[in-house]
Chains A and B, each alone.
Chain A
């Protein structure tokens, strides 16, 4: 449905090295290379975790755990493995675990949305904030796995095959879940409901 770009790339303050080089160097103990990897991907992982859990505190915890786990697993990570896919997979699993471990009564604060800089056009910014808030609230009411599928596809632009692997199902089932998620979100966002 949305064909726009996925979450914008991090600013190239990391020397522009490719992931494989950074992983290779980090594996040998080069902390600057690892820091460049964290700088490159922390925003995407944090945003996914925030939208998944609805809590900035949980999102911070998940992001920190994901990168610490990456550091610990570097020696056993295969040379050709795409680190970004590994990060998304680990983050998604962590989020699903966090949600499972919550008490049924401890609902996500659905009104929580990221604070962000006002754009140049305050009116338009306010409008899109309102839309975004409605969407964030609707997302909080989707089943967790469906929410993960929708976020990974529509916000982060991951492939059907990758998402299927992430949530342990088939690409066909991912398409089905995504279609249902879109319909449910569209219905929940109708202003008169």
Chain B
């Protein structure tokens, strides 16, 4: 039967396989398997609709809050904001520039200067979205606005690194 597999794979037939009853039987059963395999590949069955929620529930239970950043001018006591939350705000701000995706965002606090942070962000750009310089300038503007307006922090340094450029049709 393995010879028949090879012949089927290669689309070959010869006089023997056309006339031999055993080969014909083997060929039929392999074709049957191929059809069933195609049906299995196309199987539309989905996992239970509750599965995603259960997975995310377990993940949320483990998600750490992350380190906290001290805010400037908190006279009524220290107000903290989590690094994770700030990074999420900044990624969201960068995403709002057309053709830009934030990939990672690291935040570091300058020792002794509450309210001042350094941001290191990596970005993916969509090819053809315009000159990178202009896009990066726009990202900087949105990051500064988001920090001042939504978080109450100031970035003394923003490092942007382009780590990927992707063609539009790929996704």
Contacts and interface: CB of A to CB of B under 8 A. Distances in A.
Contact of A64 (B30, B43, B55, B164): B55
A67 B59 CA distance: 8
Contacts of B56: 31, 34-35, 38
A35 B9 CA distance: 40
Given A2-B37, A29-B87, A114-B43, A187 B124 contact: no
Nearest to A117: B44
A129 to B, nearest CB: 8
A129 B45 CA distance: 12
Contacts of B35: 128, 131
Nearest to A60: B51
B58 A68 contact: yes
Contacts of A58: none
Interface in A108-143: 114-117, 128-129, 131-132, 134-136
Interface residues of A, number: 59
Contacts of A117: 44
Interface residues of B, number: 53
Interface string B27-57: 0011011111111111111111001101110
B36 A68 contact: no
A42 B1 contact: no
A85 to B, nearest CB: 19
A153 B99 CA distance: 36
Contacts of A12: 171
Interface stretch (B68-76, B102-110, B142-150): B102-110
A182 interface: yes
B104 A132 contact: no
Contact of A2 (B41, B43, B52, B124): B41
B21 interface: no
B45 A68 contact: no
Contacts of A7: 41
Interface of B: 1-2, 5, 8-9, 25-26, 29-30, 32-48, 51-52, 54-56, 58-60, 62-64, 66, 84, 87-88, 91, 101-106, 122, 124, 164, 166, 171
Given A116-B43, A186-B26, 10 more contacts: A21-B164, A28-B105, A31-B59, A38-B55, A38-B56, A47-B47, A63-B47, A68-B59, A131-B36, A135-B40
